[in-house]
Each structure stands twice: as C-alpha cells, then as structure tokens.
C-alpha cells in the first residue's frame, strides 16, 4: 500500500495482551508524488502526448539530445524539458532514485542511435511501462538490435512495441490517445482494446498492482477523411 500510494484496511494482531483481544483493523492511506512519464523525442507526437499524460496525472518530462528541437516554448505543457542523450539522462535519474515502479517511458524518437541505447537502459529497470514507436518492420529490426546488445529475451518481451493500442490512430493527437489507452489498460491489468459492449460483469475493478508489461499492438490504421496518413518504415 505504501509503495503503490493506495489506501485500504489492514488487520493487525495485538503485539501483547491488552484490552483489545480482537485483531485491530487499521486504515492505511499513503500519498505519493505524481508518477512520472518520460517522453523521449521532441517531435509532433511528443508534443501531443505531453498534455495527454498530464491529463492522466503524470509529471511529464520531455527529453531530446538536440537543442534545436527541444525548445521549451514548443513543449510548454511539460513539467521539464531536458536536452541530453536519452540513455544518459535515464541512467542518471535511476542512479539518483528519481524513478520508481510507476514510471512510464515512451520512446517516440524513431531513431536507432537514440532508441537502442535508451531501450537497453529502460528494459533493465523496474518501470511500469516501456513503449517505443515504429512500424512492425522497424520493431523487428529493433528486437534484433536489442538481442545483439545482450538484452535478455524476457526483458524484451516487456517492451510495448509498436507503441499504443490498435485504434486506427494516424495523427499525433490520435496516437497520443492510443498510447494513453494502452497505459491505462496496462496499469489496470485489463485486456487491451476490448470494447465494453463485448464484455460482461462490473466495469470497474478494485485497485491492483500494475500488470507486467506485454507486447503492444500498432498505433496504426486506415486513413479517413481529413487525416493525413503517416507511414513508418
């Protein structure tokens, strides 16, 4: 309860004979700082994901190694904008104890020279969610690169790639919805992308620890009127 920042009752047996011979029930309530969302990639997709992450209650940090792209004015909604190599920043944050099991990492840079070292680092940490943008073809190449770098297959299996649920998302705003939908499904342990009309039973479940990450599906779809198709290669 303390680690997850949740509240619940907890029975406690008296440590010594006392007037309270029956077990005592305590209400335990803990309050933590907001969970962190780390967005890697100063692009249109990052700009769309930042306010979506804020809406879910995350403290959002944008990280990009290119000063010309990581402009505070463009990403003013972010709590922090950092210019640094992504894997170096993540390593430093982990060493400083500023990451925990609620932290999510969204890799949107779509550039192997940034992505592979970053994912090596991220998958070695105990994070709630690690996702990476790209097509299915680039995902397969990414898997090969991570295996060649010595990342264990069981760690790679925790990567959500291609990032997001299969909602037919195309525009940056739609992809942000796709990613945040997968985040909600992942942390609640619900099957991904199941319409409520196709399910039965209670809509809401009791709070539970986040489920281990599993491979996600593509945040891709068929273009519709008024939307520009973006094809990753």
The pLDDT value recorded for residue 11 is 83
Question: What distance separates the 2 farthest-apart alpha carbons in the chain?
Answer: 74
| pLDDT of res. 171 | 94
In the block, tokens 């309530």 appear at: 29
How many angstroms separate the CA atoms of 108 and 46, rounded?
A: 7
Neighbours of 5 (CB within 10 A): 15
Number of C-beta neighbours around residue 6 at 10 A: 15
pLDDT of residue 106: 98
Nearest CA to 119 among 142, 99, 98? 142
pLDDT for residue 34: 94
Tokens in use for 127?
């994070």
Per-residue pLDDT of the chain (233 residues; tens, 9 = 90+): 566 667 788 887 766 555 556 778 888 887 788 999 999 999 999 999 999 999 999 999 999 999 999 887 889 899 999 999 999 999 999 999 999 999 999 999 989 999 999 999 999 999 999 999 988 888 999 999 999 999 999 999 999 989 998 888 899 999 999 999 999 999 888 766 666 566 676 755 554 444 443 333 334 333 333 444 444 44
Question: What's residue 198's pLDDT?
Answer: 66
Res 215: pLDDT: 38
Q: Which helix (H) or strand (E) holds 50?
A: helix 44-55
- Predicted pLDDT at 120: 97
Domains present along the chain, CATH in parentheses: 37-187 (3.40.50.720)
Break the chain down into helix, strand, coil percent, rounded to 5: 30, 15, 55
Q: How many CB atoms lie within 10 A of CB 77?
A: 13
Instruction: Tell me if 89 sits within 8 A of 106, measured CB to CB.
Output: no
pLDDT at residue number 210: 45
> pLDDT tens, 153-166?
999 999 998 999 88
Beta bridge partners of 131: 106, 160
Residue 218: per-residue pLDDT: 38
pLDDT tens across 84-135, in order? 999 999 999 999 999 999 999 999 998 999 999 999 999 999 999 999 998 8
- Total residues belonging to the chain: 233
């Amino acid at each position: 309860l303390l680690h997850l920042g949740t509240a619940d009752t907890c029975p406690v047996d008296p440590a010594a004979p006392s007037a309270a011979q029956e077990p005592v029930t305590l209400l335990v309530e803990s309050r933590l700082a907001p969970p962190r969302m780390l967005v890697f990639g100063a692009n249109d997709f990052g700009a769309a994901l930042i306010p979506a992450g804020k809406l879910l209650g995350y403290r959002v940090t944008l990280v990009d190694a290119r000063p010309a792209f990581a402009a505070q004015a463009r990403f003013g909604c972010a709590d922090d904008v950092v210019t640094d190599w992504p894997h170096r920043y993540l390593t430093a944050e982990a060493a400083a104890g500023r990451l925990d099991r609620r932290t999510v990492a969204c890799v949107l840079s779509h550039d192997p020279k940034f992505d592979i070292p970053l994912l090596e680092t991220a998958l070695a940490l105990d994070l709630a969610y690690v996702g990476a943008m790209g097509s299915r073809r680039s995902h397969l190449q990414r898997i090969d690169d991570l295996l060649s770098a010595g990342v264990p297959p069981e760690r790679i299996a925790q990567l959500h790639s291609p990032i997001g649920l299969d909602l037919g998302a195309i525009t940056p705003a739609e992809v942000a919805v796709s990613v945040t939908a997968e985040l909600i499904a992942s942390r609640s342990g619900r099957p991904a992308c199941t319409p409520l009309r196709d399910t039965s039973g209670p809509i809401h479940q009791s709070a539970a620890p986040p489920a281990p990450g599993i491979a996600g599906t593509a945040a891709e779809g068929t273009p519709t009127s008024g939307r520009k198709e973006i094809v990753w290669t």
